[in-house]
Structure formats: structure tokens, C-alpha cells
């Protein structure tokens, strides 16, 4: 496998939150390519999630050395310093990044983190309501979460599934189409969107979704099962 493929797959799996596979590709790429700031930023995120704090700090610092105006890497480094109590270092990192149109203070970063945590808490409460079959309460919690973080596609997908359970198919489709617009490669959204299209007898639209899923995950069992069912149904008609 050539380096470009390692880079492509590393980014792809990183965006899918499959960090173990992403790490393998990104580290393979980094061995012979030391000048990609975004690679070091992604590696830093993965190391931080794996509690490899020293490695994370080194990776974010390398990203900033390559691109001193890399706001995302600076934010990630500041958050990492903040997590281990090195608040002065966190402030210094952000103060060094000069991006007048969209510079963020440490407080803004912290506010964003708090908002994200609150959104995830509402989503977790929603999950608990689903477990006890209180779908109405789950829907309410997912809405609260998305009011805080409208772009969290995993929560939009959970909301859509809950709406589907209530028979609110059109609303569920709307949520999943928005999720696809935000993150076209988020597999659960596209699998479930295909199922809803299938329920609405929009078979061609359903096929498009499942074929897209199988391009990214050839062994996705749900997409394969439904796709085969649609193909058999079309064969019977012809």
C-alpha cells in the first residue's frame, strides 16, 4: 500500500471514529512523511483519547510547528494542557495563534466542551428512556441534545430511529437527510435512511443509500440484507 493510500484511509477512519484503524494508517504514513500538520493533529487526538498524554502533546506541538496558525491543533493542545492542570501553558498556546477572524479564547473552548458534554448527557438519558420503551421521553431528550449541538449526527440518527418507532416517518427521514448532509460518510445514518425509504416504497432511493454504505463497508450485514431483498423484489416484478 502506498503512502497516499495510508493517508486517505487514515483520514477516512478517523472521521468515522474508528481510531484504532486510523492510527495504524496514520503512523505508517507519518514514518516517511513528516510535513503534514493535519496528520499530527489527528494522531494527537487519538493519543489523547488513549490517555497517551505526552505523545498527544508532542503531536499537537509538531502540527503547530508545521502550521503556526493551525487553530484546531492549538485548541486541542490547549485542551490537553487544561486537562492536566497546566492552565498557563493552555492560555499561552491559544494566545500565540493569530487568527483575527475566528480566534477563540480558552473560555470559548471550555464553553464548547461543556456544551458538548451536556448534549451527550441528554443523549444518554434518551438512550435510557429507549431501554424502558418510553420513546416520547427519549425524543424529547434527543431534541434537547441537538438544540445544544445540532451537528451531532449520531444523536440525529438516534432521534430518527425513535421517531420511526412512533410512526413519524417523514420527520425521521428529515433528520437522517440532514445527518447525511452534515457527514455524508456516517454509515448508521445512511443505513437507516435506506430503511425508511424502503418503508416509504422509495426503492431506488433506498438502493442508493445501501450501495453507498457497501462502498465504505462491504461487509455491512444490514445494508446487504435489505439490498438483496429489494433486488429480489424487482426481479419478481420484471
pLDDT of residue 185: 86
Which residues are CB-contacts of 198 (< 8 A; sequence separation ≥ 6)? 206, 226, 230
* Residue-number span of the structural domain to which 203 is assigned: 109-237
Indicate if 27 and 70 belong to the same structural domain.
yes
Q: What is the DSSP letter of 238?
A: -
Q: How many domains does the chain have?
A: 2
Three-state DSSP state, 199: helix
Last residue of a domain, one of 89, 104, 119: 104
Last residue of a domain, one of 80, 104, 128: 104
Per the CB < 8 A criterion, the answer to whether 193 and 177 are in contact is yes
Quote the cell numbers at residue 41.
Answer: 493533529
Question: What is the Cα Rg of the chain in Å?
Answer: 21
The domain that holds 209 is classified in CATH as 1.25.40.10
Last residue of a domain, one of 62, 89, 104: 104
Place of cell 420511526: 164
Indicate if 36 and 144 belong to the same structural domain.
no
Residue 107 CA to residue 77 CA, distance in Å, equals: 14
pLDDT digits (tens, 9 = 90+) for 180-215: 999 888 899 999 999 999 988 898 999 999 999 999
Residue 159 CA to residue 168 CA, distance in Å, equals: 11
Percent pLDDT > 70 in the chain is: 91
pTM of the model: 0.57
Q: Which of 2-16, 27-41, 88-102, 165-179 has the lowest mean pLDDT?
A: 88-102
Amino acid at each position: 500500500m502506498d503512502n497516499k493510500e495510508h493517508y486517505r484511509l487514515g483520514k477516512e477512519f478517523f472521521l468515522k471514529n474508528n481510531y484504532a484503524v486510523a492510527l495504524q494508517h496514520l503512523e505508517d504514513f507519518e514514518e516517511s512523511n513528516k510535513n503534514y500538520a493535519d496528520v499530527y493533529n489527528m494522531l494527537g487526538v487519538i493519543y489523547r483519547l488513549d490517555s497517551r498524554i505526552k505523545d498527544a502533546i508532542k503531536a499537537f506541538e509538531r502540527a503547530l510547528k508545521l502550521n503556526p496558525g493551525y487553530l484546531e491543533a492549538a485548541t486541542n493542545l490547549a485542551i490537553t494542557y487544561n486537562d492536566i492542570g497546566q492552565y498557563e501553558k493552555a492560555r499561552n498556546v491559544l494566545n500565540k495563534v493569530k487568527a483575527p477572524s475566528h480566534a477563540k479564547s480558552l473560555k470559548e473552548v471550555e464553553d464548547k466542551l461543556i456544551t458538548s458534554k451536556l448534549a451527550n448527557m441528554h443523549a444518554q438519558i434518551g438512550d435510557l428512556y429507549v431501554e424502558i420503551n418510553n420513546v416520547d421521553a427519549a425524543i424529547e431528550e434527543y431534541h434537547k441534545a441537538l438544540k445544544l449541538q445540532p451537528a451531532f449526527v449520531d444523536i440525529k440518527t438516534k432521534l430518527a430511529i425513535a421517531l420511526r418507532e412512533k410512526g413519524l416517518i417523514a420527520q425521521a427521514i428529515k433528520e437522517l437527510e440532514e445527518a447525511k448532509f452534515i457527514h455524508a460518510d456516517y454509515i448508521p445514518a445512511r443505513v437507516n435512511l435506506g430503511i425508511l425509504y424502503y418503508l416509504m416504497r422509495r426503492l431506488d432511493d433506498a438502493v442508493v443509500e445501501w450501495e453507498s454504505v457497501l462502498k465504505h463497508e462491504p461487509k455491512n450485514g444490514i445494508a446487504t440484507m435489505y439490498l438483496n431483498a429489494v433486488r429480489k423484489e424487482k426481479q419478481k416484478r420484471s
